[in-house]
Amino acid sequence: MNFPSAFPVLRTERLVLREVADHDVPAVFEMESDPVAMRYWSKPPMRDISEAVASVERAKTFFPTQAGLRWCLATPADDWTIGHASLFAFSEQSGRADIGYGLARRHWGQGYMHEALVAIVDYAFGPLGLRRLEADADPRNAPSCRALERLGFVREGTLRERWQVGDEISDTAFYGLLAREWRERRRSS
Ligand SMILES: CC(C)(COP(=O)(O)OP(=O)(O)OC[C@H]1O[C@@H](n2cnc3c(N)ncnc32)[C@H](O)[C@@H]1OP(=O)(O)O)[C@@H](O)C(=O)NCCC(=O)NCCS
């Protein structure tokens, strides 16, 4: 794995994928305080803007500590963050990482996440040198499962009662994608 020395800004047709910044606080709060968007997230919805401030502060440490790569999905005209996507839980030895993502609700259904994830997966299996990506989705989270399957992720199994968020216990649909599968897919697309 080749963790980058400078944050890897990625560009797609409609988005700039960049590092988190202080001015992302309102956008993070928009998404992460929405109970619908957070229905299957690993933590309950935010209730106060101070939680978004803390979340942005935390996200700013991911790259310098090599804990993860968190890309804010920004629209180039106004630099507004419509969502974010991350690689984290790197295993250097096994060349793998987890992928996670979310969009504010008003940006759903327009293909933005697919566009961003294609760029991130290209980066993960290209310059970053990973061999396998993993994703953990609630089996009831159909849009998330579709987003993974659209990229070629294979549903490898169900991990029962893996999460407890508040009082709710939920299963995980566990997905994996291999670099060689991605290359084959890109070659034939
Ligand atoms: C998971 C999540 C990002 C998926 O959002 P999404 O809008 O469905 O995904 P995309 O941005 O890739 O858009 C794809 C959808 O847009 C449609 N679409 C419209 N215009 C499009 C375009 N120009 N290009 C591609 N797709 C387009 C696609 O048909 C697809 O809809 P479908 O799944 O009903 O067929 C979103 O539901 C979310 O943020 N949820 C809350 C957070 C969350 O649960 N994260 C996952 C935790 S595991």
In the reported structure, the alpha carbon of residue 65 is separated from the centroid of ligand 1 by a whole-number distance in angstroms of 30
Architecture of domain 10-187: 3-Layer(aba) Sandwich (3.40)
Judged against a pLDDT cut of 90, whether residue 98 lies above it is answered with: yes
Least confident stretch, 39-48, 112-121, 173-182: 39-48
- Closest protein CA for atom 5 of ligand 1: 108
Please tell me the distance between residue 106's alpha carbon and the centre of ligand 1 in angstroms. 11
Q: Atom 22 (ligand 1): residue with closest C-alpha?
A: 111
Look at residue 94 in the predicted model and tell me its pLDDT.
Answer: 96
Residues in the chain: 189
Which protein residue has the closest C-alpha to ligand 1 atom 17? 109
> Would the pLDDT of 189 be above 90?
no
Contact 24, 56 (CB under 8 A): yes
> What is residue 73's predicted lDDT score, i.e. its pLDDT?
98
Spell out the domain ranges in the chain.
Answer: 10-187
What pLDDT was estimated at residue 42? 85
pLDDT tens profile 75-92: 999 999 999 999 999 999
Summarised one tens digit per residue, pLDDT across range 111-150 is 999 999 999 999 999 999 999 999 999 999 999 999 999 9
> With 90 as the cut, is the pLDDT of residue 55 above it?
yes
- pLDDT class for 32, splitting at 50, 70, 90? very high
Burial (CB < 10 A; 0-12, 13-18, 19+), residue 170, is middle
Look-up of token digits 């293909």: 111
Q: What angle do CA 115, 67, 34 make, to 5 degrees?
A: 55
